[in-house]
Structure formats: C-alpha cells, structure tokens
Amino acid sequence: MSETWQQMVDEALIAAEKGQTMIALLQLEEAAESGMTPQLKSGLGYCLAKERRQLQKGANLCLEAMREEPRNPAHDLYLGRVLLLAGQKEKAIRAFRQGLKKGRDPRIMGDLRALGLRAPQVITGLPRAHPLNRILGKMLSRFGMR
C-alpha cells in the first residue's frame, strides 16, 4: 500500500469522526479498490451502516477487522456504533467495554458517556452503594485500572 493510499484512509476516518460519513464512505470505497486493511474494513463497515443502512454488512466488516487485528480498540468502537444504529444497545455497550479492555480510546469513553452509562460494579454481588464497591471503584479508577 502506498503512502498516499494510507493518507486517503486516514483522512476518510478523520472525516467519519467529524460526522462526515458520506465523504468518508466515498473515500473508503475508493481506497478499498486498491486493497483492504483491518482499519479500512472497520471504518467502511461503520460508514456503510450509517449512510446506506447496510447494518449486517457493516457489522460483518467490523468483525472481520477484529479477527485480523484483535488488539485494536477502534474496531470495537466501530462495531459498537454499528450495533447502536441497529438498535442493539446492550450488544453495543458490550462491544464498547470490550474495546476499553484492549486500550483506553477516548472515542469509546465519549460514546459510553453519551449513552449515560456508569462503570460496572466492582463486586456484582453487592449493591452499587455498598462501601466496598465504592472504595474499590475509586481505587481502581485512581490507578487507571477502570
């Protein structure tokens, strides 16, 4: 892949993050003619789902990218967004949280915040307000483990 090809993919993904998914879709489709990378697949999957409502194809592209590059949280981000577009909020939340386990991506954290979600309880068998859950949660957050 050439440097200009990679630059085109990068610009398309930046456009998608700015909400310009139609522009991103056109650029990613053009880049896909020259070859597919996991990064391109997941970005293209999200743009297809957003602009053309091809939700199944979009999710499949994101899953393919995850299989090829399992440690990249961006693929979980795009899969989560596709699942949100499909109305599958619980699955989307799981995808976002799986992505956070792979790496702290501020875009995932922003999407979770936009959904109004709190972090899961540290000890699920105890109530959220239990002092042990509260103290452990604060400690884990302070150490960057949550």
104 contacts: CB under 8 Å, gap ≥ 6: 73, 144
pLDDT at position 1, please?
60
Residue range(s) defining the domain that contains residue 91: 3-115
Same structural domain, 98 and 143: no
Q: How far apart are CA 5 and CA 136, in angstroms?
A: 47
Nearest CA among 26, 82, 31 for reference residue 57: 82
Total domains, the chain: 2
Same structural domain, 62 and 134: no
Same structural domain, 145 and 94: no
Same structural domain, 107 and 127: no
Same structural domain, 17 and 74: yes
Handedness of CA 116, 121, 127, 133 (dihedral sign): negative
Cβ-contact 27, 8 below 8 angstroms: yes
* Per-residue tens of pLDDT for the chain, all 146 residues: 678 888 989 999 999 999 999 999 999 999 999 889 999 999 999 999 999 999 999 999 999 999 999 999 999 999 999 999 999 999 999 999 999 999 989 999 999 999 987 778 889 899 988 999 899 999 988 888 87
The single-letter code of the amino acid at 7 is Q
